[in-house]
Structure 1
Amino acid sequence: MGSDIRYRIDSIGIVGGGDAGLLTALALEKGLDDPEIFVVDDFDQSVPEVGKSTLRYLLTFLHDRLEISPTRLVEEVKLGFKSTVYLKDWCGKEFHSPLGKPLPTVSQVDLGKWVEPTTRRESLSPENEAVFDEFHHRYEVGEYTTLYNELAETPGKTPMVLDDENVFDIQKGLPDASYHFNSESFNRFLRTLCRERGIDLIDDRIEAVESSEGWIDSIAGAREYAADLYVDASGFRRLLMTELGTSLREFDLPVDSAVVATTDVSFDDIVSATVVTSGEAGWFWQIDTVDVRDLGYVYSSEHIDDEAALAEFVETRAERIDPDETRRYRFESGVLETPWANNCVAVGNAVGFVEPLQSTALTTSAKLADRLAMFLGMHGRINHDGVRELFNETTRATWEEIYDFVSLYYKYNSGETPFWTEAREINPGPIEQVESYRASGFCAPGTRASLTRTATDLNNYYLYYLVLQGLGVESEFHKGIDHEPDPAVVSRVEEYTDSVGDRIDDFLSYAEFYTTFHPGFEN
């Protein structure tokens, strides 16, 4: 087949039944009219026990795009909540990378109560001056306390509140919070949904791929399978894309390995945040779900060997970790140059991965699955160069923006070990958001940062501001101007900050949440 051939995609074969493959199957089933979809995997194999931390977009995808009831999700999946990535000790610095857009707060505070704004602040309004005053004041005093941060630092609390009808709706609590998933229960839930929605799950292991002139003709395990479009969801093996010879654009990041363990956790100790601390040659994570604490050490194999990394992991954590119960992973950072090649498209880790710091993998899989289904539907399911390149541009831009954002944590670290010193040399090119923050304060959207951002970026422009602040990166703009913020704005910021601790009491504890929404569950 030539690369310019056009034909309609009616059958779709997905290789890999992990979360990325199943989410892609569900998106295609929902977004297309009666497609034939099958997923091939060795479904008898256990799901890798790595905690699933997510970003806010995943809630939109699950509940709005796939129309999964939040109540059903919490009934069938062991989950916790997430309000921030809590950098509890990043080379001696403590700060938060919150979800959503918790700042600015001035227009959201009314007599100490949280209210959602009724109009966009980013418009022609005198309120823009209050937004600037708030950001400049916060820069000068270093005060970034929000409800999201406070929740992250309060074990045992969810971001949920009860309404009169006891309906599970995260919008009534902290609307930009997200989920932590137990990987085994989440994958089992996705399999159930696939079967309910007519997606064929085939228990087989693909061992052979037949191709000609860059197109896949068939795949085979115990038997042979054929489809109009093949989806490679085989993870880092890239079973199909390797056959097509698709190259990987590598990202310059200093970590390539992880050691992982799990322990039990009680309701009172669950933290609604992904907690991160730094080590000698990398960093540690903690992800809590309703009964499991997932722990990991992400490190550089060039700076520490596996045995030394395991020893540091066990010694650093307060929890008792059995070294024999740990698991090791190797990963590579990068994105395929051609995510959709002829009649094969890669998803999940098969198409791209950065590293786990900002919890991007699962959310990005969902977002790109949504885009794939949308692009196919809006182009009559025609497989053509133009449609493929549209998806490829979107995919590359998504992963490149994630790479730029994650690289900030390494470029501007203040660690002193050989690993951290060398990590400051990564990603030498200019990052528009950093340049904007330095030159113009980054407190408004009409800067170079937002003008050059694409709709693929998972991070809003205020998040860059908060992370750069937390890392200690100075803004020449804020530092160099002589400006007195409006005292009324300063007072409102202080009023909001003082109210945060008391308002945490309004949120449900994990014990209260599961008693209300999952009465049969015992912790």
Structure 2
Amino acid sequence: MSDYDRTINEILVVGGGDIGLLTSLCIKKLNPDIDVAVVDDFSEDPPEVGKSTYQEIIDIFHEFLEIDEMRFLKEVKPIWKSSVFFRNWTEYGPFHYSFDDIQKYPDPNTSHFLDKAYLYYHELYSDPECQTINEWLVELGKSPINFEMTGEWSRYGPRAYHLDLNRFNEFLQTICGERGINLIDDIIETVETGDGRVTRVQSDQETYEADLYVDATGFRRVLLDEFDVPFRNFDLPLDAALSTKFERPLSEVEPATVIESGDNGWFWQIDTYEFRDVGYVYATDFVDAVSAKAEFVEYVDGDISADELECHEFQSGYYEQTWTGNLVAIGNAGGFIEPLQSTGLTSNTKNAVQLAHLLSAYGSADYPAARETYNGWVTRQWETVYDFISVHYKYANGDTPFWKQVQSMPVSERVTRIKDHFESCGYAVKIDPIQTPKTGQTPLIDSAVFPTVSYLTILRNLEVQSDFYETLDLDVSEEARTFLEEYYRGEKKDAEAFLTHEEFYKGVLFDPW
């Protein structure tokens, strides 16, 4: 039988964590006639660590998957995330990478753009009074929710979630049940293969067969490890993490993923509804576990002992054919990159959406072109995310052996071209340097996640200079200066009107529960 003759009528997702459940929901949404089942030990709790997301997750949850937003808020109780806040990054900072960072920059469609960009470059980029609404929401401890005088509530657009995984996974299991996805409480022990395909999987008691299998078993890669699939290693040496959490009142929520650099990596803080999750991502080539734990304990002011810490190991990179034969590896099973910009869950959910679209577009046929298209998409996702992450390290300023090594890492042509453009042209990105290369340059695939302006946010806050603005002697017009001052004052005033998380969850909009 050729691949062209195969149809996909049954899909078995092995792994019932967040990405396994989300993948099943995405597939079912566009392919309602396919029988979708998820098998896992559902009695096992998910990792006790808060999960941070990226802004596109909002549209996937509430638009594509049509998950009712109010129900989601009541049952999952997420904390809204407005930015990644670099409280200290190798002596740079504090600065935000906010979800409305495009609003930070002068509008190229207005007059006096050069004056405004010059002023922003030299003075305003680091001015604590010149911030976007999202940045002010973090500074003021606010949610993106506003209660209007009409009695209705509105929300500021660019936002993401911090998720408590216990609540989140329980919610996803409920939604799966409501949408006809079979959740099987079992543990897969054996994987049988033949002719480059999975033929069946087995537990101690049962045998399961499907037309397409999804490996969502995380770093265990229960199914994918049966195949010889090339792995693309990223250059970053970070390969381990420590984590713990503390109870925290809702009144003290910080609506951002907070980052601070350490000697051999970096620390994170993620606030969920009841807890503050903290962690340390580090490189074992530069520090042993005992010393890393000691550094982390000191960072949290000794409020914990080293024995209380959760330990995690990982490898940064991805499998180059995550759809191979009749197996799709997704989530950490397909690849992982250190979580500096919290892209993991969101990027993999986008992969699940693309998988669902391809199954629908090809009429659920096991078609080689679908696999090739999907693998190309996944590669583009990983490479463009890695490019953006690499900028944070390449242009950092740390002087420990770890930081010196990551500053010496090679970067891609995309990163080099964006940096060169910033040096020579500054913030003039109306014509994108990636999408419109200069004479003699070959076109590059545009970023799947982070636009050029996001790179500029990081580069400037890491004190990368633009020769264009450094050598330009410009007397900024009073009109341009006044315009920007009024604009940023307006951003702060707008942000002050929003509710805190405590006001939203405990106040006028919800009855206490």
**TM over 0.5, shorter chain:** yes
2:11 and 2:210 in contact (8 A); partners too? yes
User: Structure 1 pair 442/342, CA: closer, same or farther in 2 (3 Å)?
Assistant: farther
2:262 partner letter = G
What secondary structure, in the 3-state scheme, does the structure 1 residue paired with 2:434 have?
A: helix
Match of 2:374 in 1: 391
Match of 2:512 in 1: 520
Match of 1:311 in 2: 294
Match of 1:504 in 2: 495
Match of 2:155 in 1: 173
| 1:428 Cα deviation from its structure 2 partner | 3.8
Q: How does 1:456-495 map to 2 (within 5 A)?
A: 457-495=448-486
CA distance in 1, matches of 2:17, 2:121: 43
Shifted more, 410-419 versus 439-448: the winner is 439-448
1:246 and 1:336 in contact (8 A); partners too? yes
What secondary structure, in the 3-state scheme, does the structure 2 residue paired with 1:467 have?
A: helix
1:251 and 1:333 in contact (8 A); partners too? yes
1:297 and 1:313 in contact (8 A); partners too? yes
What secondary structure, in the 3-state scheme, does the structure 1 residue paired with 2:246 have?
A: strand
| 1:28 Cα deviation from its structure 2 partner | 0.5
CA distance in 1, matches of 2:11, 2:509: 37
Shifted more, 495-504 versus 16-25: the winner is 495-504
Please list the CA deviations of residues 330-384 of structure 1 after superposition, one character each: whole Å capped at 9, or x if unmatched. Answer: 0111111101111111111111211110000010111111111111111212212
What secondary structure, in the 3-state scheme, does the structure 2 residue paired with 1:143 have?
A: helix
Q: 2:326 aligns with which of 333, 343, 363?
A: 343
1:275 and 1:286 in contact (8 A); partners too? yes
2:104 and 2:132 in contact (8 A); partners too? no
User: Structure 1 pair 132/429, CA: closer, same or farther in 2 (3 Å)?
Assistant: same
**Contiguous gaps of at least 5 residues in structure 1:** 108-120, 122-126
CA distance in 1, matches of 2:324, 2:149: 52
**Contiguous gaps of at least 5 residues in structure 2:** 437-442
2:434 and 2:445 in contact (8 A); partners too? no
Please list the CA deviations of residues 439-468 of structure 1 after superposition, one character each: whole Å capped at 9, or x if unmatched. Answer: 322432413234456566221221111111
User: Structure 1 pair 352/132, CA: closer, same or farther in 2 (3 Å)?
Assistant: farther
Match of 1:114 in 2: none
Match of 1:160 in 2: 145
Match of 1:215 in 2: 197
What secondary structure, in the 3-state scheme, does the structure 2 residue paired with 1:103 have?
A: helix
CA distance in 1, matches of 2:486, 2:31: 50
Runs of 4+ in 1 over 6 A off after TM superposition: none
% identity of equivalent residues: 36
CA distance in 2, matches of 1:258, 1:205: 27
2:16 partner letter = G
| 1:101 Cα deviation from its structure 2 partner | 4.0
Match of 2:253 in 1: 270
Match of 1:361 in 2: 344
| 1:194 Cα deviation from its structure 2 partner | 0.4
CA distance in 2, matches of 1:200, 1:19: 15
CA distance in 1, matches of 2:444, 2:138: 28
2:36 is the counterpart of 1:37: yes
User: Structure 1 pair 518/257, CA: closer, same or farther in 2 (3 Å)?
Assistant: farther
CA distance in 2, matches of 1:498, 1:484: 23
Shifted more, 328-337 versus 452-461: the winner is 452-461
Match of 1:227 in 2: 210
| 1:238 Cα deviation from its structure 2 partner | 1.4
What secondary structure, in the 3-state scheme, does the structure 2 residue paired with 1:380 have?
A: coil
1:249 partner letter = R
Please list the CA deviations of residues 461-497 of structure 1 after superposition, one character each: whole Å capped at 9, or x if unmatched. Answer: 2111111111111122333334455532321211122
Match of 1:444 in 2: 429
Match of 1:96 in 2: 96
2:178 is the counterpart of 1:196: yes
Match of 1:118 in 2: none
What secondary structure, in the 3-state scheme, does the structure 2 residue paired with 1:462 have?
A: helix
| 1:6 Cα deviation from its structure 2 partner | 3.9
CA distance in 1, matches of 2:163, 2:150: 26
Match of 2:400 in 1: 417
What secondary structure, in the 3-state scheme, does the structure 1 residue paired with 2:146 have?
A: coil
CA distance in 1, matches of 2:149, 2:9: 46
User: Structure 1 pair 67/290, CA: closer, same or farther in 2 (3 Å)?
Assistant: same
CA distance in 2, matches of 1:398, 1:39: 25
2:434 is the counterpart of 1:435: no
Match of 1:116 in 2: none
1:312 partner letter = E
User: Structure 1 pair 17/309, CA: closer, same or farther in 2 (3 Å)?
Assistant: same
Q: 1:186 aligns with which of 168, 179, 185?
A: 168
1:263 and 1:321 in contact (8 A); partners too? no
Please list the CA deviations of residues 153-187 of structure 1 after superposition, one character each: whole Å capped at 9, or x if unmatched. Answer: 233x212111256555xxx3331021111111111
| 1:189 Cα deviation from its structure 2 partner | 0.7
Match of 2:77 in 1: 78
2:82 and 2:255 in contact (8 A); partners too? yes
Shifted more, 371-380 versus 133-142: the winner is 133-142
Alignment root-mean-square deviation, CA: 2.0
2:394 and 2:409 in contact (8 A); partners too? yes
1:436 and 1:447 in contact (8 A); partners too? no
| 1:102 Cα deviation from its structure 2 partner | 3.9
| 1:318 Cα deviation from its structure 2 partner | 4.1
| 1:233 Cα deviation from its structure 2 partner | 0.6
2:105 and 2:120 in contact (8 A); partners too? no
Shifted more, 47-56 versus 97-106: the winner is 97-106
CA distance in 1, matches of 2:395, 2:342: 20
What secondary structure, in the 3-state scheme, does the structure 2 residue paired with 1:448 have?
A: coil
CA distance in 1, matches of 2:427, 2:258: 26
Q: How does 1:324-343 map to 2 (within 5 A)?
A: 324-343=307-326
1:333 partner letter = S
2:387 and 2:412 in contact (8 A); partners too? no
2:26 and 2:65 in contact (8 A); partners too? yes
CA distance in 2, matches of 1:189, 1:134: 47
What secondary structure, in the 3-state scheme, does the structure 1 residue paired with 2:145 have?
A: coil
CA distance in 1, matches of 2:177, 2:418: 43
2:104 is the counterpart of 1:149: no
CA distance in 1, matches of 2:405, 2:105: 38
Please list the CA deviations of residues 241-261 of structure 1 after superposition, one character each: whole Å capped at 9, or x if unmatched. Answer: 111221211111121100000
CA distance in 1, matches of 2:471, 2:369: 48
1:106 and 1:130 in contact (8 A); partners too? no
Q: TM-score, length-normalised on structure 2?
A: 0.92
Please list the CA deviations of residues 214-250 of structure 1 after superposition, one character each: whole Å capped at 9, or x if unmatched. Answer: 1111111131111111111111121111112212111
1:507 partner letter = F
Q: TM-score, length-normalised on structure 1?
A: 0.91
User: Structure 1 pair 406/105, CA: closer, same or farther in 2 (3 Å)?
Assistant: closer
2:282 is the counterpart of 1:291: no
